[in-house]
Homo-oligomer: A and B are copies of this chain.
Amino acid sequence: MARTAEAKQNIREICRIDARVFYAKSYDGASMQDIAEAVGLTKAGLYHHVGSKDRLLFEIQNYGMDILDETVLAPIKDVTDPREKLRQTIIGHIDLIVRARDQEITVILHENRSLSGPLRKKLNARKRGYIEYLVDLIGRVQEQSAKPPQISPRLAAFALLGMINWLYQWYRTSGPITQSDIAQYYTDFFFRGLLGTI
């Protein structure tokens, strides 16, 4: 069913708050009561808005993918040079991971294996869509470089996803390394790894 803009905003607000509850208590550790209370609803009210607990988890993970689309990919959709587009994708993806505001959503998106059935399938299809976008872009960067490829675009895409998605395990914006340093050094490191030179 199509949601009104207001309903969508409501769901997103619930997602943001309940992501913190799942993060703190774990998916299995958080009761429906905990989840409803955090957003100021009764259990019946929460059910009305999002349905079951696993539907809520899906909404949170799906919202994580929406943020990627809206804040990273949409702003650069008209960039045509593959290398520049990849560079901006890397910078945007890093920003998404280290941005404190959505940290819980990031963690839940990567760590949660609790979804099953059609919801899991739907989410995995979205994740795969982003991987294919990266594979295609990396392949075009390799073609543009006019050197023989040194690694398959797919392996390079997974190496890149690992480098970036792992940031949440160790990087803190309050630490000694600035976000723009991370973006610069990681982007250069990736292009050297991909092409041998930058």
For residue A27, CB closer than 8 A to chain B, the reply is: yes
Closest to A197 in B: B196
Residue-wise interface mask of A (134-176) relative to B, using a CB-CB cutoff of 8 A (1 in contact, 0 not)? 0000000000000000111001101101111111011100000
Contact, CB under 8 Å: B151 / A114: no
Copies of the chain in the assembly: 2
Instruction: Pick out which of these stretches binds chain B: A41-49, A60-68, A183-191.
Output: A183-191
Distance from A90 Cβ to chain B, minimum over Cβ atoms (Å): 12
For residue A26, CB closer than 8 A to chain B, the reply is: yes
Contact, CB under 8 Å: A185 / B27: no
For residue A193, CB closer than 8 A to chain B, the reply is: yes
Closest to A111 in B: B111
Q: Which of A28, A156, A164, A192 has the most CB of B within 10 A?
A: A192
Distance from A31 Cβ to chain B, minimum over Cβ atoms (Å): 11
For residue A121, CB closer than 8 A to chain B, the reply is: no
Closest to A182 in B: B155
Closest to A186 in B: B159
Could you tell me the distance between the alpha carbons of A167 and B111 in the complex, rounded to whole angstroms?
A: 13
Known contacts A165-B166, A169-B110: A159-B25 contact under CB 8 Å: no
> Which of B28, B150, B188, B192 lies in contact with A29, CB distance below 8 A?
B28
Distance from A107 Cβ to chain B, minimum over Cβ atoms (Å): 9
Distance from A94 Cβ to chain B, minimum over Cβ atoms (Å): 11
> Which of B28, B167, B193 lies in contact with A162, CB distance below 8 A?
B167
Distance from A169 Cβ to chain B, minimum over Cβ atoms (Å): 7
If A159-B163, A159-B186, A162-B164 are given as contacts, then 5 extra A-B residue pairs at C-beta distance below 8 Å, sorted by A number, are A28-B28, A151-B189, A152-B185, A156-B189, A161-B170
